[in-house]
Amino acid sequence: MSTEERAAWASAVATLVVPAFYFTRVLGDARNYPVAEIDYQGLLIWNVGITIGATIALTILLTIAHAIGIHVSAEVAAAKAGRPADPDEVEREMKSLDRTDARDKAISRRGEVVSGIVLGIGAVLPLVLAMTEREQFWIAQSLYAAFILAALTGAIAKIVVYRTGLSS
């Protein structure tokens, strides 16, 4: 699994989990209080920051897990063959952890295109809400949801292409 694929998985998980807590809390408040009284701005900013941080942390953790897997599989293969693990082979595998090639770039581009299309479509609702002079709360929530859906679909598109292959 390339670094780019690990980052796509981390982004998908973080983008799904962290905003779910935000929307559960804020939309729960919207059921119980007038939306003009809900102080969502600070929570929204923190949520964006935590999502970014979680994506970075998950990418690092997945990279560490992959590195450990390389060492373990080398030791297991060597033990089955009745010889010590070849440090040169392990080193070659470790160097491949952060290698990016043309395929990774093409997949990243495709994921960004999908993400951009979803964001463009998703921006219609906040625009309509703003033009019809709805509450700022709903405009902000729908815009954030559009960003989340765009990031999530972009990450999923990358994962799908990594798993099924890049076709023209």
Mean pLDDT by 10 residues, the chain (168 residues): 89 96 95 93 96 95 87 79 77 71 89 96 96 96 97 96 82
Residue 94 lies in domain: 3-164
Place of tokens 């019809």: 132
End-to-end C-alpha distance for the chain, whole angstroms: 22
Question: Is residue 79 a contact partner of residue 139, using CB atoms and an 8 Å limit?
Answer: no
pLDDT value at position 57?
A: 96
Residue 65 backbone phi and psi in degrees, to 5: -60, -40
The total domain count for the chain is 1
Tell which residue, 53, 49, 52, has the closest CA to residue 41: 49
Q: What is the pTM of this model?
A: 0.84
pLDDT value at position 1?
A: 75
